[in-house]
Structure 1
Amino acid sequence: MDKEMLALHETLETHEIINFKTVCLLRSKLMQGICFNNELKELMEKDVKQTIQDINELLPFYKQSQLLH
């Protein structure tokens, strides 16, 4: 049986989401370095961990991409 593949627009949307999440991740990591409020730093660290988890969940969809086949 053939593997299920994403349509081109789904692939592009997945790519856009991953790019957006990556920019958010980089920004949170950068802001942690210049933040002096410990509560805010902890909140940003939670955001970083969640964003990494989100990106890792999205990456397998690239294996279903028509662009790779």
Structure 2
Amino acid sequence: MHTVVRRWCSITVFTVTEQAKFIEDVFFNSMIIIQNHATLFRTYSTRQKLLFRIRLSTKVALSTTPPLTASLV
């Protein structure tokens, strides 16, 4: 059994074994990309949460500061 795969405007004919190897390679490479992306996303997400907390704590600090009033002595 052969499968025809169109790639870069040329036709490649794969045997079942070659097709299985191709799928395995694509799957393996995809897993590496997904793992690296997940690590980068966690780093980005952690950084975004940290920046949000800093902004939030700054807003809280500013909102709890008593207003400046002019005092006549």
TM-score greater than 0.5 by the shorter chain: no
More strand by share: 2
Structure having the higher Rg: 2
